[in-house]
Copies of this chain bind each other. A is one copy, B any other.
Amino acid sequence: MEAYAQHTGKLFIISGPSGAGKGTICKRLIEDSDPDRMELSVSMTTRPPRKGEVDGVSYYFVTMEQFRENVLADGFLEHAEVYGNCYGTPKAKVIEKLEAGIDVVLEIDIQGAMNVKKAYPDGIFIFILPPSMSILRKRLTGRGTDSMDIIDMRLSKTLGELSYIEEYDYVVVNGELEEAVDRVKAIVVAEHSRVTENINELIERYKEEI
């Protein structure tokens, strides 16, 4: 099974509304995984490195010109501008990992996930959902970073975003973190047991054995 499962890595897109807890889930997923089997996707950015950030680990730090060249070369699974800085998921880096048999985990908002889906439809798209809108409101309020107006705006944005769930393969409600992490782990295991086009190689191996 291992040889079959390891044949190629899979791209897991962990996505969902702000406050759903996708970052925490990704962190736990990576912490608990074998580093030879699963890695977090590293984004490319034009934002200058902050203290302690390491190129190629925190981000790939590039100039605006390099970033633009990569856009023109169709080199991103998705990219976006946030407050004047550009961020993107470099396609070549992801493909390289997948071909080496390493799963890649990509944490991204819903709009970004929809762009990734266009560029890489073979990805496994997991929507992380807060257990209820009232709990989401509590979480966003608890952060203490946003005014009530901003929180109301986020909640109403979230409602709109729910209609994208049907574009995803899985939905995981993040009520209890441990349960949600276990569910995502189960999805990873299950996806590696899926019957895919690789199955013919497996069958050939059995036939040669006789």
Question: Which A positions have Cβ atoms within 8 angstroms of B?
Answer: 1, 4, 126-127, 129, 131-134, 155-156, 159, 162-163, 165-166, 168-173, 175, 179, 182-183, 185-187, 189-191, 193-195, 199, 202-203, 206-207, 209-210
**With A165-B203, A169-B194, A183-B189 already in contact, 12 other A-B pairs whose C-beta atoms are closer than 8 Å:** A1-B131, A1-B179, A129-B202, A132-B206, A132-B209, A133-B206, A133-B209, A133-B210, A162-B203, A170-B194, A183-B193, A187-B190
Chain B residues lying within 8 Å of A202, measured Cβ to Cβ, are 129, 165, 171
In whole angstroms, how far apart are the Cα atoms of A126 and B129 in the complex?
28
Chain B residues lying within 8 Å of A156, measured Cβ to Cβ, are 210
Asked if A193 contacts B210 (CB within 8 A), the reply is: no
**A contact patch SS:** helix
In whole angstroms, how far apart are the Cα atoms of A23 and B209 in the complex?
25
In whole angstroms, how far apart are the Cα atoms of A137 and B209 in the complex?
11
Given A169-B195, A182-B189, A175 contacting B1 (CB threshold 8 A): yes
Asked if B182 contacts A170 (CB within 8 A), the reply is: no
Q: What are 23 inter-chain pairs, A to B, with CB distance below 8 A?
A: A1-B131, A1-B173, A1-B175, A1-B179, A4-B171, A132-B206, A132-B209, A134-B209, A156-B210, A163-B203, A165-B199, A166-B199, A170-B194, A171-B199, A183-B189, A183-B193, A185-B186, A186-B186, A186-B187, A187-B190, A187-B193, A189-B190, A190-B190
Asked if A170 contacts B195 (CB within 8 A), the reply is: yes
The 6 closest A-B pairs by CB, nearest first: A1-B173, A190-B190, A186-B189, A186-B186, A133-B209, A170-B193
In whole angstroms, how far apart are the Cα atoms of A173 and B207 in the complex?
16
Chain B residues lying within 8 Å of A131, measured Cβ to Cβ, are 1
A127, A131, A193, A209 — most chain B CB neighbours (10 Å): A193
